[in-house]
Amino acid sequence: MWLHGIPGSGKTVLCSSIIEHLSELCRPQNESIVISFFFEFSTKDKSSLSKFLRTLLSQLVVQKQSTLESIHTLYAQHHDGFKPPSERVLLETLRVALVDAGTVYFVMDALDESCERVGLLNIVEQVATWQLNGLHLLATSRSESDIEDTFRRLNSTILHIGGQNIKQDIKIHVQNSVSQDRRLGRWASDVQREVVEAVSHKAGEMFRWATCQLEALRKCRNVKELYKALETLPDTLDETYARILDTLDPVLESDALKILSWLCFAFEAPTVAEFVDILAVDVDSLTYDPAQRVQDLDDILSICGSLVTKSSGSDGVLKLAHSSVKEYLMSDRILKGRHSKYYIDQPAADKLIATTCLVYLRYQHTRNGDYPREGILQPLIRYSLNFWPEHFIEADAMSDLLPLAVDLLTNSESSFLEWAWLSGYSANGLYTEAPHNNTGTNLDALLYYAALVGSPDLMKAFLARGADINTVSGQHGTPLTVATLSFHISSVEYLLSEGANINASGSYTGNPLEAAASCGWLEAAKLLISKGANVNAYENDYDTALIGASMTALQLVIDRYGVDYTTADAQGRTVLHMAAQGITVGTIEYLIKLGLNPNQEDIRGWSPLHYAALTEDEENLKALLPHTT
């Protein structure tokens, strides 16, 4: 089922009520369960689909013991959680877990707010093809054509949230808000009725508009001000937001723009404590001044008025009050209006955030250079370490940012690498362990780091200073291999153009082609093969590219490039052994059709059937049994 409505029509509130109601229905018998996910506009996390799938799996395993087996298998197959699973693997694990779970009510809110909407809709369609009798799916969003097309293709029930019913709901919402609010409830009952009628009538089908007007009316000091406000209620959300901007302190305009820029384009919603340090950075003079740290955290919340809200949790996360706020701030409408100074575009916001992070890191490692573990406890450190490269790359302002980044990384007194490894994981999900032989300013380690974060500009700077393009500086291998694992095609292209060894090994994934194949990244695999990568390369205990490949990559290297698919690895395992551990049945059938022997044993005497039995994958066992003796 798909529920759609206009912005501000209360879809998220309705979704929360549905989840609460379903949870109450499922609780007594404990046979059915509810899983849910709320997509948010407030971050631009590129790994949102992976987090979406992980969240669903975590909800399943908490509520249903029967799903533990599939999760344990996933964990074991990815180096006990050390290697992040791909979205494809997570999706297949979700399918198995849903089968094991029985009756599941699956609720998704705000599909339109996902930053990876194409991928999300593909997942929705794939889930529908599973035809699980126990799965009941409900989604909400705005009425966008691509979302509508998806649900129409699936023959879903489609309902519009609107009409007289929602108008009545808004009136009830306004009545309750007025009667329960200390300031609005102080007026005489006849005045309260006028407030309810005026706001609910003009709100139409928009909860958000009504909420904003009630917030403005709370500030009225007497009845005369109240009636004047009721007579001049804004016609649109745009005008509502413009009036809020009218009330902001002009002295704090720069701080307001910083806060709004971060809230529009941060990869994670910042906390109030992080904003204390963000506002202490002067991006013009490139300095951090502790004397500018705000002392009263409530002062930060007041800078942007009701455009911003704070979560009720202990972490004090700040967010834009509604997705329509971000749309307004980025629209041509604000650019042409009286508040054009508050217009926000992504490159400028990314430049501001990257600059803030770099300046802050420079200050912190200068102050705590010999004791990075002390500085790591500062609120803004983790975000700055993990995400400055993402903002740096997207800012498209290399002439300004590159010198700042290079100075931070190559300063002879810098301990930046220690800071980076302390943060644990990079934004792309790869573990950032301490590089090999990291003493002082290690250019090879810096090149490895630049490949990890995906910046050709940084790599060029470090190569110019003498870094070795083929040195193994971490567990992910050479810079070319780590760039492949990080899914940075521009970095792969750049390193190849600079003469990187295309067949160099030295990591748990083997050489760059093996890394691309194991991730199912066809674009990189095609590029590497076209540049001369050996499809049958085999070193030490690493698999060939074929053995680590996903189904799509596997067909590519076999059908198009004539790879020797009969090759076994050092353990005597063929690609069929590996496929039996959990890749699709189609892969197994494809390999058997090619002539691979389902009875061939590895050095332990195990056939592909043993591997399928180890994972207890019923479908793979069924595919292998007719061909085994």
What letter does residue 312 receive in the DSSP assignment?
S
pLDDT at 562 (0 to 100)? 61
> What is the C-alpha R_g of the chain?
28
Tell me: the pLDDT tens digits for 417-446? Answer: 665 655 554 545 454 554 444 444 578 888
Round to whole Å and give the CA distance between 390 and 409: 16
pLDDT at 557 (0 to 100)? 60
pLDDT at 241 (0 to 100)? 96
Tell me: the pLDDT tens digits for 524-550? Answer: 888 888 888 876 655 544 455 444 445
pLDDT at 427 (0 to 100)? 46
Architecture of the domain spanning 2-160: 3-Layer(aba) Sandwich (3.40)
Would the pLDDT of 138 be above 80?
yes
Would the pLDDT of 364 be above 50?
yes
Round to whole Å and give the CA distance between 331 and 319: 19
Round to whole Å and give the CA distance between 127 and 135: 9
Question: What average pLDDT is seen over the chain?
Answer: 84
Lowest mean pLDDT among 244-248, 303-307, 342-346, 470-474: 470-474
Tell me: the pLDDT tens digits for 255-309? Answer: 999 999 999 999 998 999 999 999 999 999 999 999 999 988 889 999 999 999 9
pLDDT higher for 435 or 378? 378
Q: Which of 435, 430, 426 is nearest to 388 (CA)?
A: 426
Do residues 588 and 623 make contact, with C-beta atoms less than 8 angstroms apart?
Answer: yes
DSSP notation for 328-354? HHTSHHHHTSTTGGG---HHHHHHHHH
pLDDT higher for 331 or 476? 331
Round to whole Å and give the CA distance between 124 and 156: 12
Architecture of the domain spanning 568-629: Alpha Horseshoe (1.25)
pTM for this prediction: 0.76
Round to whole Å and give the CA distance between 6 and 41: 16
pLDDT at 147 (0 to 100)? 95
Round to whole Å and give the CA distance between 241 and 305: 10
pLDDT higher for 431 or 211? 211
Average pLDDT over residues 478-484: 91
Round to whole Å and give the CA distance between 33 and 103: 7
pLDDT higher for 600 or 473? 600
Would the pLDDT of 415 be above 50?
yes
Look at the block and give the residue holding tokens 């593909």: 122
Would the pLDDT of 78 be above 60?
no
pLDDT at 291 (0 to 100)? 94
